[in-house]
Amino acid sequence: MTTETTTQSWGSRVGDSFKGILIGFALIAISIGALFWNEGRTIKRTKALAEGAKNVVEANIDSVDATLEGKLVHLSGDAVTDEILVDPFFNVYVKAIKLARKVEIYQWEEEVQTKTERGSGGQEITTKTYSYHTTWSEELIDSSRFKEASGHQNPTDVPVRSETFVAQNVTLGAFSLSKALIDKTGPEAELVIPSPPAESQEQTSLNPIEENIAPEGADSSEATDDDQAPAELDYLDADTSGEYEEEFTPSSSAVQGEDVLNGFIPRPDGFYKGTPENAQIGDIRVTYTYVPSPTPISVVSQQSGNTFVPYQAKTGTVELLNFGVVSAEEMFSEAQKANKFIAWLIRLGGFILMYVGFSSVFRPLSVLADIIPFAGKIVGYGTGAVAFCLALCVSLLTIAVGWISYRPLIAIPLVVVAIGAFVYPFIRGSKKNANNLN
């Protein structure tokens, strides 16, 4: 743990605060643009989903109905692929729609706690405390930027990174899924990696799945705990030419630590480089998730031959995919809820950004007042309240302008509230002055 204390003079703080005015106006402009764009996006998406819900028709996945060509259709069924997804680094392969390799590195992470105090003459005293703890992260953490780099060095490279392998050909009954729909499939399940037998350590290349599995129809005495294997997983073996032949089921027997592949130890949950029982900086753990084949999904999209393309509504495109068997009505309802949730997140973010912008614009007032003890805090509270009211006012006006041409009945009340937020501080100030005179 390291502590660093810095002191900034009042004059320097005043100069920085005036520079912050430009940043404040930039933040206000960005927030206005984001809020206005968000309202247009929300309205267009709402209308597109409403149009889709009105025009969607049910389709049969067992056959392609030519009369539904170009129409928005709803289908539910099993997404299926015969493709074998391969992770070539570990020679892991599985019949699946998706195979995701997650690589995490054990590293140092720096945490900074900042405490700011006011000194005499408007000075600002900042104390930063740097502490360090270990964490698993998919991204390499640059320890050269640490305040206390000595003794907290992280690795600068790893032999393998996280990666997702996706099937190219996935069917839904008589239909083929587009790449966009395949990318949306899920959810992912954990993939169990079977461990190899002891004799595999003599080989120069180890397939952790291939070495401890028994083919279908083989004598049960030759298999290892096959009855414990997850029934939903299908793995394929490979011959010397690289062609996949027989289908196997993995074993769930215990990992043998002496078996190593590319420096990694096979484990039931993946692979590990280092000492699993006592993690050290630079250790690497690898886990897998996958989308099995088959997996039930529901789709709303435009039929185009035996596949799908996004449906072009008047105000945007519509293409939905849900996991499991879900009705068209439920899918559109969930999509509308998601649209509203995103809209409110962006509104909140835009308001906060605008508040920070106005606070930056008014900051010189509180810094100037800091020359007098406690005066800076009092002015800061006042400018903060004004910044909040202005941010609320401008945010509501921006939202209202975005809605006014589409939803005037909603926009007008917003304008009234915005004006009230702007006028309120002045009315309150006038009342206080009148009470003081009395």
Taking only the tens place, the pLDDT of each residue in 288-344 is 999 999 999 999 999 999 999 999 999 999 999 999 999 999 999 999 999 999 999
- Sequence length of the chain is 438
Q: How many CB atoms lie within 10 A of CB 399?
A: 24
**Nearest-angstrom CA–CA distance, 194 and 288:** 12
Same domain, 353 and 288: no
pLDDT of residue 206: 36
Same domain, 348 and 428: yes
Same domain, 202 and 182: yes
Contacts of 123 (CB under 8 A, 6+ apart): 7, 8, 9, 10
Secondary structure (3-state) at 175: strand
Same domain, 305 and 179: no
Cite the beta strand spans of 43-143 per DSSP E.
57-58, 72-80, 84-87, 92-118, 124-137
Average per-residue pLDDT in the chain? 80
User: C-alpha distances in angstroms, 410 versus 58, 342, 401?
Assistant: 35, 19, 11
Q: Is residue 383 part of a domain?
A: yes
DSSP state of 317: E
Reply yes or no on whether the pLDDT at 438 is more than 90: no
Q: Is residue 404 part of a domain?
A: yes
Angle between helices 10-55 and 375-404 (to 10 degrees): 20
pLDDT of residue 222: 38
**Nearest-angstrom CA–CA distance, 342 and 250:** 42
Find the domain containing 271 and state its range. Answer: 85-104+156-295
Same domain, 283 and 187: yes
Burial class (CB in 10 A: 0-12, 13-18, 19+), 360: buried
Reply yes or no on whether the pLDDT at 230 is more than 70: no
Same domain, 287 and 172: yes
Give the residue among 268, 300, 324 at the shortest CA–CA distance from 57: 300
Q: Which helix (H) or strand (E) holds 195?
A: none
Q: Is residue 122 part of a domain?
A: no
Where does the pLDDT of residue 128 fall: very low under 50, low under 70, confident under 90, or very high at 90 and above? confident
Where does the pLDDT of residue 250 fall: very low under 50, low under 70, confident under 90, or very high at 90 and above? very low
Same domain, 93 and 200: yes
Contacts of 196 (CB under 8 A, 6+ apart): 206, 207, 208, 211, 212, 256, 259, 266
Torsions phi, psi for 364 (to 5 deg): -55, -30
Cis upstream peptide for 294 (omega within 30°): yes
Domain end, chosen from 295, 315, 345, is at 295
Q: Is residue 387 part of a domain?
A: yes
**Nearest-angstrom CA–CA distance, 414 and 200:** 71
Higher-pLDDT residue of 156 and 416 is: 156
Q: Is residue 34 part of a domain?
A: yes
pLDDT of residue 382: 85
Q: Is residue 14 part of a domain?
A: yes
Same domain, 165 and 265: yes
Alpha-carbon Rg for the chain in angstroms: 31
Give the residue among 400, 402, 428 at the shortest CA–CA distance from 414: 400
Percentage of residues of the chain with pLDDT beyond 70: 75
Angle between helices 408-437 and 375-404 (to 10 degrees): 150
Mean pLDDT of 81-106: 93
**Nearest-angstrom CA–CA distance, 417 and 408:** 14
**Nearest-angstrom CA–CA distance, 159 and 172:** 37
pLDDT of residue 223: 37
Secondary structure (3-state) at 150: coil
Same domain, 171 and 314: no
Same domain, 339 and 289: no
41-45, 139-143, 160-164, 240-244 — which is least confidently predicted?
240-244
User: How many domains is the chain built from?
Assistant: 3
Percentage of residues of the chain with pLDDT beyond 90: 49
Beta carbons of 206 and 307 less than 8 angstroms apart: no
Mean pLDDT of 140-153: 89
The string of pLDDT tens digits covering residues 149-182 is 888 999 999 999 999 999 999 999 999 999 999 9
7-21, 128-142, 240-254, 289-303 — which is least confidently predicted?
240-254
Q: Is residue 133 part of a domain?
A: no
Same domain, 100 and 208: yes
15-24, 193-202, 358-367 — which is least confidently predicted?
193-202
pLDDT of residue 233: 38
pLDDT of residue 405: 64
Q: Is residue 339 part of a domain?
A: yes
Same domain, 33 and 67: no
Where does the pLDDT of residue 127 fall: very low under 50, low under 70, confident under 90, or very high at 90 and above? confident
Mean pLDDT of 130-142: 94
The string of pLDDT tens digits covering residues 1-37 is 788 777 766 667 777 778 888 999 999 999 999 999 9
Model confidence pTM above 0.75:
no
